[in-house]
Amino acid sequence: MLKKLIIVVLGIVLLVACQDDQKKPNIKPADTSKVKPETVEGDFSSGTLLRIDDFPSNFIPPRKVDIWLPENYSKDKKYAVLYMHDGQMLFDSRITWNHQEWMVDEIATRLMNDSITKDFIVVAPFNINELRHSEYFPQKPFETLSEHTRDSLIVEANKNNFKFDSVTSNNYLSFIVEELKPYIDANYSVLTDKDNTFVAGSSMGGLISMYAICEYPKVFGGAACLSTHWPGGNPNDSDLLANTFFEYMTKEVPSPKNHKIYFDYGTETLDKFYPKYAKQVSSILEEKGYDDTNYKNLKFQGADHSEISWQKRLDIPLTFLLKR
């Protein structure tokens, strides 16, 4: 009788495993052995900016990836790693669409030189503009929506010049975790553990950073989500998408014992739609056991939705996540 029971249980386990395999197709990571970055010349505060023009991927279309190394980078030391989305907006205003930049190199240099943060490098995949919404929109919350709602969102997005035929954020995160991170770990003098691996972004980049730490809590120890775009698309009277993200967070936010999460928001331009969500964000995190030692949800009165605004306060999330 016991033998039969064991066989039945094993059968159920195998069936579930097969179903999981069907949901997660087995994609082999791309070969990155021939990847060679080139040094970018420019007016940078300090350190070295390297660029890979076409980082190979079997998960998403190849794209540029910037790697910033701090001044006096040495193979004799080990560095934490900060993965930041929208890489083309971070270091060099000459290549940005609005001639603004985050000034990551200047701010990171100051924080390290003043011994405020641990030493770290920044790895920054570029977005592909027409794919950005699809790659940064959290996929599991999207898949909980009704088919009618999903179709309506896609139609609405396409009307507003967003290419949103499908949501591919699971593949985007697989690219970072299974292709980009192993390349960085193998070729740079970095600490590879969760406690020294962080992710950050703004707007839709804030959403995908939240999704990253929830989906990969063993990979990322902290996430910085600036001006997180809770509406998910064009802001309107419906909070359907925001509520869907909150339902997901309620289930998936990782343990507060060994993770840090930073949120913030302004009050002008697109950011004016975000303050109403702040209370619910804090409530979810506090119910999960987070407190002021491991989460922030800060309001910046008068701040708008721009790289200039994020630049002005970037030192706050970096200090929070990477404090020495």
Residue range 294-322, pLDDT digits in tens: 999 999 999 999 999 999 999 999 999 99
> How many domains does the chain fold into?
1
pLDDT band with cut points at 50, 70 and 90 for residue 125: very high
pLDDT, one tens digit per residue, over 26-75 is 899 999 999 999 999 877 778 999 999 999 999 999 999 999 999 999 99
pLDDT, position 42: 78
pTM over 0.85: yes
Q: Is residue 104 part of a domain?
A: yes
| Overall average pLDDT of the 121-146 stretch | 95
Pairing of strands 222-226, 260-265: parallel
Q: Is residue 78 part of a domain?
A: yes
Q: Is residue 226 part of a domain?
A: yes
155: β partners: none
Domain that holds residue 134: 38-322
- For residue 85, which amino acid is it? H
Check if the beta carbon of residue 160 is closer than 8 Å to that of residue 234: yes
State how far the Cα of 164 lies from the Cα of 133, in Å rounded to an integer: 7
Q: Is residue 28 part of a domain?
A: no
Segment 44-49 long-range contacts (CB within 8 Å, at least 24 positions apart): 44/91, 44/92, 44/105, 45/103, 45/105, 45/106, 45/109, 46/70, 46/71, 46/105, 46/109, 47/71, 47/73, 47/105, 47/108, 47/109, 48/73, 49/91, 49/92, 49/105
Query: Of 98 and 67, which is predicted with more confidence?
Result: 67
In this model, does residue 8 exceed pLDDT 60? no
- CATH number, residue 241: 3.40.50.1820
pLDDT, one tens digit per residue, over 239-252 is 999 999 999 999 99
Q: Is residue 185 part of a domain?
A: yes
Check if the beta carbon of residue 267 is closer than 8 Å to that of residue 300: yes
| Overall average pLDDT of the 181-196 stretch | 98
Q: Is residue 24 part of a domain?
A: no
Average pLDDT, the chain: 89
Q: Is residue 31 part of a domain?
A: no
pLDDT band with cut points at 50, 70 and 90 for residue 10: very low
Q: Is residue 17 part of a domain?
A: no
In this model, does residue 151 exceed pLDDT 60? yes
| Overall average pLDDT of the 189-218 stretch | 98
In this model, does residue 3 exceed pLDDT 50? no
